[in-house]
Amino acid sequence: GSGREVVRLRTYLPILKHYCDTGDAPSALSTYRSMQSTDGVIFEPETYVMVLACLAQNGHLREDSEPLDGATTRLGFESACGPGLFDEVCREMADDCLEITSASARRLSNAFARGFAGGRPRGDEGAEDGEDDDDDGGSRSAVV
């Protein structure tokens, strides 16, 4: 019934958020795949944004990034890192949602800025960059 689906979602989301917040991209991707394979779990646009932001912020979508352990072998992604992984997650996102909020678009933009700044990611140096609150017409949505 729908009660079980709500419980599953309530269980998955905090776990996924924890992995994303701590930069544990392999565990985040594993949880993401588990959520996808669970009947009745419906992804909100913000769930995709959380996963993409985690991957981007930690440099896993760069062409020179290290492959994520188990992404292709265990989780069934075609690409284990870089633009290919970005394309795959975005294609899945496009199947489920048509737009993201301007706040989600800013979050992704900031995550990409951190993940692509100055070569391979290094600790927290420059982590504050791109986090200003300049409002560029925040009422717009980004079509995906």
Amino acid at 44: E
Residues with Cβ within 8 Å of 127's Cβ and at least 6 positions away in sequence, in order, are 114
Q: Supply the pLDDT for residue 96.
A: 84
pLDDT tens digits, 73-118: 999 999 999 999 999 999 999 988 778 999 999 999 999 999 998 6
pLDDT class of 143 with cuts at 50, 70, 90: very low
Q: What is the pLDDT of residues 44-69, one digit of tens each?
A: 899 999 999 999 999 999 999 999 99
Please list the alpha-helical segments (H only) found in 38-101. Answer: 45-57, 82-96
Give 15 or 130, the one with higher predicted confidence: 15
Interior CA angle at 105 toward 101 and 107, to 5°?
115
- Taking the C-alpha atoms of residue 117 and residue 38, their distance in angstroms, rounded to an integer, is 36
- Cα of 124 vs its chain's centroid, Å: 19
The CB-side HSE value for 30 (13 A sphere, CA atoms) comes to: 12
- pTM for the full predicted model: 0.76
What pLDDT score was predicted for residue 98? 72
117-135 per-position pLDDT tens digit: 865 444 433 333 333 433 3
